[in-house]
Structure 1
């Protein structure tokens, strides 16, 4: 327990020998040191996750996360340890304001990757929607780049339309022939039952139409098969181009994409926006807590001992300065005396 206490003293930037002489101050600096330590720990976790999304490597994430966490820990420790309790409240706040601004910036930087992790499921859903949109846009652009496919499909449709028209004409003649045979009266039939002159004429017309239809189908089928082969070749080329783009779309889940997804979520949902703000404010509160503790806590025995220690150093420095100056002056006088320096005659 004592080692843990001294470790948190170190984290708070306090001078342990003086703090041991102020037992009433120990708990305050343990709390400050614990806040600084856990802020650095959260910074390491946050940076580790952020860098994992960038490098996709656990070891890179651990390494850079530890470096970032140690840097934030050192900065927080410096900010807290450099704040001194004075008898002038305005002077203390003036000294604290730039440190508070810097602490808020650090809190925002630390909180963002953790916000991304907290809302990971929602962000993944947004990324999937974005990927679907990107796939659709890529396919549309490729269609514009392979416009020949549409032209070939249009030619196929034209050939099929001609075959369909010939089929409709053959079916019409078949209907008239059947009406003529069975004596059904219509505009184009006589209404007499049996195979008469009109029925034979219509049979000849039907046979000719069927023959033309068969020839047209055979000729157009060859052309359609040729067009299908061309379409398949161009479709394969288009698919190959899309396959080149597909990995980039699948890999659209980096840090920038997730930040963009988080922004979209906060714009679409007021609840998400409020949750995002409160999480960020939580980290701001944690990051600025040691500074506010220093500001609002009264001046204690540790501050008096620290001032006394500094005063002793200043006094000792002044004494040594006077001694050095006196010794220097004495050596100069002795040097001049040894040279017997006299003014030169005019």
Structure 2
């Protein structure tokens, strides 16, 4: 237990030989050191997991997690050890504000990868939806490239078919008129196969011949355009098959999925905020403990030590200044050679 206690005292940044002269403060600084240590440990887990999601390499995750945890541990240790209890709470709080802001920023950073792990199952489901949306967008963009020409070909085919149908309707009409002239139900109302019938029959035959010509020409063009449509369809399918279908599972995608979940679901949003607030509480706890705790014997000893050093420094400076002034005076009174 003594080793753990000494280690946590080291983590708190306290001056251990001086703290031994104030044993009542040991538990307080041991608790502060333990909080700093476990914050660094959580930061190591968070950084390692974040690196794992990016590179999927255990050694990179382990190395980065260790470096990241040590960096956060060192920052927290410096933040707490740099705070000194004085007689003015206002001045102490003013000095603590930058440290609290830094602690909050650190808490937000180290909490985010762990939030991703907490909501991992929900994020995986959201990533599937995001993948489908991405694939749909890619296919729509490819389809847009071929759609204009496809619409043009379909319009041309429709126009050619309409021309055939229009000529067929004209032939049918002329044939009906010639038939009605022949049987006396229309035209001159005289049943005969005379010159009027022959003229109308000639018009019908001409329309039929023209229909045959148009059908042949337009049919060939329609077949050509349908072959081009088939070629376009094959090119479209081949392009879609070559699209990138890799699994979306990067850190940025997970963060976006978490953002969508929090925007869409109120419980997830509250749970996300509770996790962030938990880490903020853990990260700022040592600063608040140091801030709200009463001035203790260790603070008195530390102030005495610092004051003694200040006095010693001033004495040394004054001593050097006197020695320098004496040297200059001797140099001025020395006889010229």
Normalising to structure 2: TM-score of the pair?
A: 0.73
Name 1:137's counterpart in structure 2.
Answer: 137
Name 1:44's counterpart in structure 2.
Answer: 44
1:244 is aligned, of 220, 242, 245, to 242
Other structure's SS at 1:86 match: coil
* Offset at residue 324 of structure 1 (A): 1.6
Other structure's SS at 1:137 match: helix
1:307 is aligned, of 303, 308, 327, to 303
Does 2:285 align with 1:289?
A: yes
Cα 1:244–1:65 change in 2 (3 A) is farther
* Offset at residue 24 of structure 1 (A): 0.9
Distance in 2 separating the partners of 1:325 and 1:151: 96
Distance in 2 separating the partners of 1:144 and 1:91: 66
Kindly report which structure 2 residues correspond to 1:1-346, keeping only aligned pairs within 5 A, or say none. Answer: 1-147=1-147, 234-247=232-245, 250-339=246-335
* Offset at residue 64 of structure 1 (A): 2.3
Q: Greater shift after overlay, 322-331 or 83-92? A: 322-331
Distance in 1 separating the partners of 2:226 and 2:16: 85
CA contact 2:44–2:66 (8 Å) conserved in 1: yes
Gaps of 5+ in 1: 160-219, 342-346
Distance in 1 separating the partners of 2:126 and 2:251: 14
Gaps of 5+ in 2: 162-218
Distance in 2 separating the partners of 1:239 and 1:15: 72
Distance in 1 separating the partners of 2:230 and 2:66: 54
Name 1:191's counterpart in structure 2.
Answer: none
* Offset at residue 153 of structure 1 (A): 8.8
* Offset at residue 90 of structure 1 (A): 0.8
RMSD: 2.8
Q: Greater shift after overlay, 31-40 or 119-128? A: 31-40
Cα 1:227–1:254 change in 2 (3 A) is same
Other structure's SS at 2:243 match: helix
Name 1:181's counterpart in structure 2.
Answer: none
Distance in 2 separating the partners of 1:102 and 1:261: 27
Cα 1:62–1:236 change in 2 (3 A) is farther
Other structure's SS at 1:146 match: helix
